[in-house]
Amino acid sequence: MVVNIYDTANEMSRQLVETQEFLGLKKAFNELKEDKEAFESFKKFQTMQATAQRKQMQGQNPTDDEIKAIQTLAKEISGKKAVQNLMNNERQVDQMLQQLNKTITSPLQDLYSDIMPQGPEDK
């Protein structure tokens, strides 16, 4: 039997949007969009952060002014309730995805388990 793992991945993608965690994140994001000031600040932060990451990927370092501006804006938006709610919901989705990743990759862990140190007794 030939297994098409991508069909399973596509099904998981369809199921993801029905999870309590994703629905909570979607609701939090929509609530953030309703707070126009917080949403504009959040979008500006996302843009600044993405620009800095692109620079780093190209081997350039963001300037001190860029870093300071990102940190200042991060501090500002982290105090907004709508952003806090979004971040809490993002953490819940991330925890779910980490657990899924652990489950999906467990065959790899099992495959290499005999050569991987398990703890102090292996030393």
- 3 domain-assigned: no
Cα of 27 vs its chain's centroid, Å: 17
Q: Give the per-residue pLDDT at 1.
A: 66
Instruction: Give domain status of residue 112, yes or no.
Output: no
Is residue 32 assigned to a domain?
Answer: yes
Residues of the chain with pLDDT under 50: none
Q: Is residue 54 part of a domain?
A: yes
pTM exceeds 0.85: no
Range of the domain at 29: 19-101
Query: How much is the pLDDT for 107?
Result: 95
Question: Which of 91, 90, 94, 83 has the alpha carbon at shortest distance from 31?
Answer: 83
Instruction: With H, G, I as helix, E, B as strand and everything else as coil, classify residue 54.
Output: helix
Report yes or no: 49 and 77 within 8 Å, Cβ to Cβ: no
The DSSP 8-state label assigned to residue 116 in this structure reads S
- Residue 107 inside a domain? The answer is no
What spatial distance separates the first Cα and last Cα of the chain, rounded to whole Å?
42
Cα angle, residue 98 at apex, residues 5 and 84 outer, rounded to 5°: 130
Return the structure tokens found at 3: 């297994």
User: Considering its fold, how many domains does the chain have in total?
Assistant: 1
Q: Judge whether 114 lies within some domain.
A: no
The confidence score (pLDDT) of residue 3 equals 77
pLDDT attached to residue 23: 98
For residues 123 and 113, give the distance between their C-alpha atoms in angstroms, rounded to a whole number. Answer: 15
Average predicted confidence (pLDDT) for the chain: 93
pLDDT number for residue 117? 75
